A and B are shown apart, each in its own frame.
With several copies, the nearest count.
Chain A
Amino acid sequence: MAPKKKTNTEDYLRMYRQMVRIRAFEDNANQLYLSAKMPGLTHMYSGQEAVAVGICEALEDSDKITSTHRGHGHCVAKGAEFKQMFCELLGKEEGYCRGKGGSMHIADQSHGNLGANAIVGGSMGIATGAALSARRLGKKDVTVCFFGDGATAQGLWYEVMNMAALWKLPVIYACENNGYSEYTKTDEIAAGSITARAEAFGIEAHMVDGQDVLAVNDLAQKLVARARKGEGPFFIELKTYRYHGHHVGDINRDYYRSKDEESEWKKVRDPIANFGKWLESEGVVTADELVAINDEIRADAEAAVQYALDAGYPPANEVDMHVFAGVDHALAYV
């Protein structure tokens, strides 16, 4: 990690905290799954924290993001609260989506998160449209479209890149290349070069180490500022790694990736540990302070989990509400 000036203590600490918050959220979510307290299953963001945080810390609250099936990290990084998130994961009324969306559809419009998406690549158009909308309505918002390496196979991306480039839209396509599409190494199912694919549409493309929150944040700040000025769109490929299986139930994964590979990434390239070490070495915080931050966040997360476990489900008559805006109960309407 490149040495940095210490002028940004507050920013650094916020980034560190946000990464820890994501990790804590995921550890608890995983625990909820393992203890059979969570309905369905979910995809852990652990290992990729520097991507979401590095990028979202470069955004304003009113800037928009679109997220993926592996969306908890983006949601936390864009400003969401633990309680409403855990409530959503458990299908409770106080969840961000009143329990109707769950992990794969968590959205938090109050902080510009237009939502996770269970269709791989499904939000590429949405992000591009949000950028078009902002430009047309005279807003200065930038939209970041998060997606995985596997999602680059979806034709939709090429369609919207073409339009984003033609219309110079303030959108940044952020590809989190964690090397895998479910249970397959993406190298085996992706030909050529991903950055070249964006460049072929005349889109400026960058690669960055997705485990280095400062590198990510630096690049994101520059590109966000330029996109805001109308110099977009941009593409970023962020090399990263997911620590867990494809989803929480994907336990035996030797057949597609080795334990060695996993522990190598965890040991040597953990974005939180490395950033913590750097913060210490730069004298921004002490080891004790880091422990205190961790403890506080862990406690927060656990309290939120308990809160969510105790919270109520939506009442049965909610089932046909929110099908249509402006219609109280859809079944009485259609």
Chain B
Amino acid sequence: MTREITLSKAVNEAIAEEMRRDETIFLIGEDVAEAGTPFKVLSGLVEEFGTDRVIDTPIAEPGFMGIAVGAAMTGSRPIVDLMFGDFIFLVMDQLCNQAAKTHYMSGGKLSVPLVLRTNLGATRRSAAQHSQSLHALVAHIPGLKVALPSSAYEAKGLMKTAIRDDNPVVIFEDKLMYNDKAPVPEEEYLIPFGEANVMRQGRDVTLIGTSSMVQVCQKAAEILEKEGISAEVIDPRTIVPLDEETILNSVRKTSRAIVVDEGHQNFGITGEIASRISEKAFYHLDAPVQRMGAMDVPVPFSPALEDITVPTPEGVADRARLICRGELVHAA
């Protein structure tokens, strides 16, 4: 049976189900227990699992990240709650020098099964240090898997897969989507990593959107449909591993692609995906692959400025129109 639940509830359910299944799982982070996080995503868990498994920490991100790494190396499966994605800068050493490399450096003898759950997304008027989408940084580091759920359904299925994975997995939730509802089955399900979701079939252009940008691409596709442009929409769901085949097959069919992501455009996700398409579907392209990331500026506080830093459905539709009509091609 499928009911509609919020993304927040989906994450909560995924964690609760897995914690019931496996005693070695515990949650650790700031205000995760009674407060259930500022976004209330974890509400109720401490009541069920106790403070031994839902652990409030001091405001010491590097510290509790390191603690999670050590716990993961010794039989536990910690889920680390990092309140804002922007704080990932604080845990980079423990995440990237320790967690990501331990399995390799030990020749496969030690492993670090942990989940780091955090968030991304701007336009919440939270300014430059609480609005970043920093998944590209993590995706660059070998040894880390990176999941980007785009709805409650994905949030639950990817979280459960992440918890069962024997590697460090970083999940970025879109903080503006916590209250968005989507159909989620009552029955247990997992979403395998590395399997993109073709959300919508189309002929003329492939829109590849991650996380918050999946909805943007869907809405752009609706706009375009009215104009007779048929857009295929793909959600990679995980960027490490990346389901290149599904993306390439789509672009080989549509001959055009736009990659849309809420991280900064430069040196980010869009360049990676666009360059793989440009290389591996070279002969199939009728137009240059388009990249639409967040503007390369720190996220401004002022609503008048913040809103223009992030791709919108209209913006994506505009770009699609241009490449479908060949207008951007001849400039290149």
A-to-B contact residues, CB < 8 Å? 39-41, 64, 66, 91-92, 95-105, 107, 109, 114-115, 117-134, 136-137, 139, 141, 143, 150-151, 153-156, 159-160, 162-163, 166, 181-184, 188-190, 255-256, 313-314, 316, 318-326, 330-331, 333-334
The 5 closest A-B pairs by CB, nearest first: A125-B66, A129-B70, A159-B63, A102-B301, A40-B125
* Contacts of B23-49 to chain A: CB distance below 8 A: 23-24, 26, 30-31, 34-35, 38
Shortest C-beta distance, B138 to chain A (Å), equals 13
A128 to B28 CA separation, bound complex (whole angstroms): 13
A-B contact sample (16 more), CB < 8 A, given A101-B105, A319-B297: A99-B300, A100-B128, A100-B301, A101-B127, A104-B126, A120-B59, A125-B62, A129-B68, A130-B71, A133-B76, A141-B74, A162-B60, A163-B60, A181-B30, A181-B31, A324-B143
**Residues of chain A within 8 A of B124, CB atoms compared:** 40
Q: Is the beta-carbon distance between A155 and B304 smaller than 8 angstroms?
A: no
User: What residue in chain B is nearest A182 (Cβ atoms)?
Assistant: B31
* Contacts of B72-91 to chain A: CB distance below 8 A: 72-76, 78, 86-87, 90
A326 to B87 CA separation, bound complex (whole angstroms): 29
Shortest C-beta distance, A16 to chain B (Å), equals 30
A34 to B242 CA separation, bound complex (whole angstroms): 44
B interface, over-half SS: loop
- Binding stretch for chain A, among B92-100, B180-188, B279-287, B323-331: B92-100
Supposing A39-B301, A256-B35 touch, asked if A333 and B194 sit within 8 A by C-beta, the answer is: yes
Supposing A40-B125, A104-B129 touch, asked if A150 and B106 sit within 8 A by C-beta, the answer is: no
28 contacts between A and B (CB under 8 A): A39-B125, A41-B125, A91-B302, A92-B302, A99-B304, A101-B106, A105-B106, A105-B301, A119-B90, A121-B59, A126-B67, A127-B70, A128-B67, A143-B70, A150-B58, A153-B60, A160-B66, A181-B59, A184-B34, A189-B56, A256-B34, A313-B305, A314-B302, A314-B304, A314-B305, A323-B103, A323-B142, A324-B167
A326 to B302 CA separation, bound complex (whole angstroms): 22
**Residues of chain A within 8 A of B102, CB atoms compared:** 115
Q: Is the beta-carbon distance between A154 and B305 smaller than 8 angstroms?
A: no
Shortest C-beta distance, A261 to chain B (Å), equals 16
Chain B residues bordering chain A, tally (CB within 8 A): 79
Q: 1/0 contact trace for B252-278 toward A, CB 8 Å?
A: 000000000000001000000000000
**Residues of chain A within 8 A of B298, CB atoms compared:** 100, 323
Supposing A125-B66, A129-B72, A162-B58 touch, asked if A101 and B107 sit within 8 A by C-beta, the answer is: yes
Q: Is residue B160 within 8 Å, beta carbon to beta carbon, of the partner chain?
A: no
Q: Is the beta-carbon distance between B60 and A130 smaller than 8 angstroms?
A: no
Shortest C-beta distance, B309 to chain A (Å), equals 6
Q: 1/0 contact trace for B283-316 toward A, CB 8 Å?
A: 0000000000001111011111100110000000
